């Protein structure tokens, strides 16, 4: 009777382990994926923060230095479209140069057209500065 009971228990343990091990492994792999995803999201957040911070700093600086220079040169004290484009182009070049290479790679992987996105940020920052 003990032999039969042992065989039944061993069979049940075998079935349980056959079902439990893949389930536990699947659960653990899912948790590992979530942890990696959180790590990637944290890196993306940091890269976006760096991009926005750099954009604000560069646009403010260039708006002050270059705009003042162009206004001194121009007769009416207003920037022409060409002068505005020069400021935006210089801002774009400076921002992309100042970004850390790791941040730039993370952003390129997440954003389809990084240059277009940075151009949008420049416009947004310039618009904000004009209002305030």
Domain count along the chain? 1
Name the residue among 88, 100, 92 with its Cα closest to residue 48: 100
Distance CA 132, CA 128 (A): 6
Q: Up-side HSE of residue 9: CA atoms within 13 Å toward CB? A: 6
Distance CA 107, CA 43 (A): 9
- pTM (2 d.p.): 0.68
On whether residue 29 sits in a domain, the answer given is no
Domain carrying residue 96: 39-131
Name the residue among 125, 119, 127, 115 with its Cα closest to residue 61: 125
Locus of tokens 């056959």 = 18
Q: What is the pLDDT of residues 12-59, one digit of tens each?
A: 777 776 777 777 777 777 877 878 878 888 999 999 999 999 999 998
On whether residue 31 sits in a domain, the answer given is no
Q: What is the pLDDT of residues 56-106, one digit of tens each?
A: 999 888 877 776 666 666 666 666 788 778 888 889 999 999 999 999 999
pLDDT, position 98: 94
């Amino acid at each position: 009777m003990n032999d039969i009971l042992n065989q039944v228990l061993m069979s049940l343990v075998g079935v349980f382990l056959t079902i439990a091990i893949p389930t536990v492994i699947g659960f653990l792999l899912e948790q590992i994926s979530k942890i990696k995803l959180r790590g990637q999201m944290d890196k993306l957040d940091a890269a976006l923060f760096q991009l926005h911070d750099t954009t604000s700093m560069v646009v403010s600086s260039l708006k002050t230095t270059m705009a003042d220079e162009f206004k001194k040169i121009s007769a009416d004290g207003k920037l022409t479209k060409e002068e505005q484009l020069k400021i935006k182009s210089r801002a774009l070049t400076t921002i992309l140069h100042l970004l850390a290479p790791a941040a730039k790679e993370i952003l390129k992987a997440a954003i389809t057209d990084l240059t277009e996105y940075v151009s949008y940020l420049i416009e947004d920052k310039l618009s904000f500065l004009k209002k305030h």
